[in-house]
């Protein structure tokens, strides 16, 4: 979709969190009411007729749009969090990132086989975090899984989308 206003308001921070990484900071989109509305309107249009019953927001920037969209779609939200943040029994998945290894967790009662799930995060780069979230959701055997990202990064030789060849995956911007 690559909306001009979104592109203009997206901040890039070179060498963060380590040298060689060009970090895309979506908080500049979140603080702009017009950008926030554009993103939410586009997400609602993409998913309003999909029967979504749960949106999995990935920590932490994924929580923002997942929560807002869940309100519009009338569905629940499930948090995929870093270890030790969820108070009840969890399932977990570890993954490699471009700058280390990490783990995400979800409550074991988050999703059931009747759910239609949308996994949402701020960006898709190498795909490690998203793949871990997808594996977690698969454990629940929902009816259908969709994936969405605000940004898909391809300009740095990153190919995260390649991990999801048979999955319905959308992005709002490709850079």
Q: What is the CATH number of domain 4-174?
A: 3.40.50.2020
> Which tokens is 54 given?
């749960």
**Closest residue by Cα to residue 40 from 59, 64, 60:** 64
- Domain residue limits, the chain: 4-174
pLDDT of res. 21: 83
How far apart are the C-alpha atoms of 57 and 64, rounded to whole Å? Answer: 8
> Which tokens is 128 given?
């490690």
At 98, the pLDDT band (50, 70, 90 cuts) reads low
Average pLDDT of the segment spanning 12-19: 90
Average pLDDT of the segment spanning 134-158: 94
Query: Helix 62-73 and helix 33-47: axis angle, to 10°?
Result: 60
At 117, the pLDDT band (50, 70, 90 cuts) reads very high
Residues annotated catalytic, as ranges:
61, 98
pLDDT of res. 158: 82
pTM value is: 0.94
Kindly state the percentage of the chain with pLDDT values over 90.
Answer: 85
DSSP 72-83: HHT-EEEEEB-T
Kindly state the percentage of the chain with pLDDT values over 70.
Answer: 99
């Amino acid at each position: 979709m690559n909306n001009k206003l979104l592109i203009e308001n997206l901040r890039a921070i070179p060498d963060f969190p380590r040298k060689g990484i060009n970090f895309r900071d979506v908080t500049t989109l979140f603080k702009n009411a017009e950008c926030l509305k554009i993103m939410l309107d586009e997400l609602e249009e993409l998913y309003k007729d999909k029967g979504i019953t749960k949106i999995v927001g990935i920590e932490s920037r994924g929580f923002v749009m997942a929560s807002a969209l869940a309100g519009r779609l009338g569905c629940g939200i499930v948090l995929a969090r870093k270890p030790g943040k969820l108070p009840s029994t969890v399932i977990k998945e570890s993954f490699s990132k471009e700058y280390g290894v990490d783990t995400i967790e979800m409550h074991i009662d988050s999703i059931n086989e009747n759910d239609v799930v949308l996994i949402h995060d701020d960006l898709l780069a190498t795909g490690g975090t998203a793949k871990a979230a997808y594996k977690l959701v698969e454990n629940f055997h929902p009816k259908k899984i969709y994936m969405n990202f605000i940004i898909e990064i391809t300009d740095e030789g990153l190919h995260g989308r390649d991990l999801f060849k048979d999955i319905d995956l959308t992005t709002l911007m490709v850079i």
